Structures are given as C-alpha cells and as structure tokens.
Structure 1
C-alpha cells in the first residue's frame, strides 16, 4: 500500500476590484511536508480574464504571479522569503491579503502522489472544461 501524505492547498485568485470581492481562480499552491513538497501552478485563460476584467493589465500582473511560483521553488532570485523553510513559505503565501492577488482559505487532503495533486487541483479548481 502506498504511503499517504497529508497536504494543504490554497487556490490562487485574481481579484481585479478588491472592493467587489469578485475573483477568478488562476492557480493553486500545494504543501506536503511529509513528502518535502511545495509547489505552485498558475494558468491564466486570457479569454476568460478579458471577459471577467477587461481593464485588467494581465502583463503587469504576471510578475506577481511568477513570484509565487519562484518562492515555492525556493529560487534565490525570489528574495529572502524564498529562503525560508518550505512550510513558512506556504504560510507566508497563503496569508490573508487585501490585494489583487489573493489566496483562498487553506484546505487539507491526503495523497500518495503530491505532484499529481497539483494537476488534479488545476483541473478541478482553475481550468474550465
């Protein structure tokens, strides 16, 4: 029987007008300490984003989203937060914010395949099929 690991995840959201609290899901962050796994994946559907927020400059937003992925990877170029332990990086990234990029509440699950969870959550929470 494969080893099951507990993981936490949050959905990455773009909230173009914070005062309206409307959002579109653009990615996920998965933390699985037992497997020493922290990963973020982001995909923006340009057609959906244009329909949802026509005045949003997605190009200007992209560096902020890229920083989430870099912090999860622990890239040296992502600054001091990226050098923290993986669990601390996850908590930093999922902290509540009042900004255009926000995270959902964190949720928990169990899996034998932490990398597969990222793809599963992207299909379920981000992509429109």
Structure 2
C-alpha cells in the first residue's frame, strides 16, 4: 500500500491594490515534510493579469515571485533564508504580509504522490478553468 503523506500548501497571489484586498492567484507553495518535499511554482496568465490590473506591470512582480521559487529550492542566491531548513522556509514564505505579492492562509491535504501535488494545485487553484 502506498504511503499517505500529509502536506501543507498556500496559494501565491498578486494583490495590485492592497487596500482593496482583490487578488489573482499566480502560483502555489507546497511543503510535505514526510517526503522531504518543498516546492513552489508560478504561472502568470499575462492577459488575465492585464485585464485584472491594467496599471500593474507583470515584470515588476516577477523578481518577488521568482524569489519564492528560489527560496523553496534552497538556492544560495536567494539569501540566508534559503539556507534554513525546509519547514522554516515554508513558514517564512507563508507569513502574513501587506504587499503586492502575498500568500493565502495555509491549507492541509493528503496524498500518496507528493511530487504531483504542485501540478494538481496549479490546475485547480491557478489556471483558468477550461
């Protein structure tokens, strides 16, 4: 029988005008300590972002979004936080912020295939339904 892993995840959001609290989902962060898995993925639909926030330049938020991915990977170029243990990096990334790039509250799930959960969450929470 396959091992059932518990994982935590958060949705990465772009919030063009923080005071309005409106956002568009652009990625996910998944932490599965039992499988030693920490991963983030970003997918921005440029046309959708432009329609949602015509004055926001997607290039302006790209460095912040890519930093999330780099921190999850543990890239040395992402600074000292990227060298922390995986669980500490997840908690750092999911801390509440008042900024243009934010994350949702964390949620919990279970899976037998932690390596596939990022793709599943992108399809369910980020991509436009077909």
Normalising by structure 1, we get a TM-score of: 0.99
1:52-102 per-residue CA deviation (whole Å, 9 max, x = no partner) reads 000001111101000000000000100000000000000000000000000
- Show the 5 A alignment for 1:96-107: 96-107=96-107
Q: 1: CA distance between counterparts of 2:27 and 2:59?
A: 16
Shift of 1:49: 0.2
Aligned twin of 2:22: 22
Shift of 1:123: 0.1
Aligned twin of 2:36: 36
Q: 2: CA distance between counterparts of 1:74 and 1:57?
A: 27
Secondary structure of residue in 2 paired with 1:71: helix
Aligned twin of 2:112: 112
Aligned twin of 1:88: 88
Secondary structure of residue in 1 paired with 2:44: coil
| Equivalences, count | 129
Aligned twin of 2:62: 62
Question: Which structure 1 residue ranges, 5 or more long, are not aligned?
Answer: none
Secondary structure of residue in 1 paired with 2:98: coil
Aligned twin of 2:77: 77
Aligned twin of 1:124: 124
Question: Which structure 2 residue ranges, 5 or more long, are not aligned?
Answer: none
- Show the 5 A alignment for 1:45-60: 45-60=45-60
Secondary structure of residue in 2 paired with 1:47: helix
Aligned twin of 1:12: 12
